[in-house]
Amino acid sequence: MLVRPLLKRRPELAYHRQYVFIRPLTHYLRGVYFCPGRWANEVNLATFAMPLFGGWNGIYLAHGKGLARSRFPFNYDFLCDWQQDPKGTSQKVCDLIENEALPEIVDLTTPEAVAAQPGYNDHLEDKVLGPCFNGDYDETERAVDAYVKYWKALPTDRLIEKTKVGSTVTYRYDVDVLSTDRVTEEHKFSDHVQWRMTYLNKVLETDRSRIPQLLHDWEAFTVKALGLTKYWTPTPFPCER
């Protein structure tokens, strides 16, 4: 109800679950998320931009402009009687999204654009996936090495392997989680992002020609997990040109 007027005048926008996002949907999902407020009449919005080609199974907002950060150019929450004044509240929300949020994220469609917008490339995985996107596999290898060193320097309780057998879930703390000697095909779509990056590292070591297809597979997985298949336009990566 709050964003319906905006969707009518901006056909490139779509509403899905808890967020408005920008179309066409190719390699990056860019949008404005409606976060739970502390009060029933609180509206809280946050921008996000995430690569779809990382095998994610959910939206992540934990970037440098995240909800817990104090320096967040667009993270707006306000109390309003939106049930009593739906039209007025709708206008405020639509204007806020259109004039302040969308201009910040509309051009975030490449690793270079994301890197140039401070705060949106804080995820270590994005620094690995970016060079893959462009076909710079030597840089990808260097980024993977830095990634491995970072995680292995942390306490072992930061590396968690999750195994589910029936209704039993087991968490294992393991410093060797990033070892390519242990990676299998089952890790390709692992819920554990470190395993996915380890899988990528194994592909780098064995057959770099498989990387574009891996990115496509991960992208299709993420799109399906987020329920965005009908909006998605499969598109070649720069690394395939």
Tell me if 34 is assigned to some domain: yes
When divided into structural domains, the chain yields a total of: 2
154 lies in the same domain as 60: no
Residue range 69-78: average pLDDT? 47
What does the DSSP assignment read for 34-46? EEPPSSTTEEEEE
16 lies in the same domain as 74: yes
83 lies in the same domain as 146: no
Residue range 172-179: average pLDDT? 62
Give dist(CA 42, CA 106) in Å, integer.
26
Please check the confidence at residue 152 and state whether its pLDDT lies above 80: no
- In contact, 21 and 101? CB cutoff 8 Å: no
If one compares 41 and 214, the residue with the highest pLDDT of the two is 214
Residue range 48-54: average pLDDT? 93
* Dihedral sign (CA 224, 226, 227, 233): negative
133 lies in the same domain as 109: no
Q: What pTM did the predictor assign?
A: 0.85
Tell me if 211 is assigned to some domain: no
Residue range 54-64: average pLDDT? 77
Lowest-confidence region among 76-90, 97-111, 129-143: 76-90
Which residues are CB-neighbours of 19 under 8 A, at least 6 positions away? 31, 32, 33, 34, 48, 59
Instruction: State which H helix or E strand residue 58 sits in.
Output: none
Please check the confidence at residue 6 and state whether its pLDDT lies above 70: yes
Tell me if 62 is assigned to some domain: yes
Domain-ending residue, one of 74, 100, 116? 116
Domain residues for the domain of 41 are 4-116
138 lies in the same domain as 96: no
112 lies in the same domain as 11: yes
**What pLDDT score was predicted for residue 170?**
57
- Select, from the ranges 58-62, 70-74, 160-164, 165-169, the one with the highest average predicted confidence (pLDDT): 58-62
Task: Write down the mean pLDDT value for the chain.
Answer: 83
3-state DSSP assignment of residue 184: coil
Tell me if 128 is assigned to some domain: yes
**What pLDDT score was predicted for residue 228?**
97
Over the stretch 97-127, which tens digit does the pLDDT of each residue have?
999 889 989 999 999 998 888 777 767 898 9
**What pLDDT score was predicted for residue 66?**
40
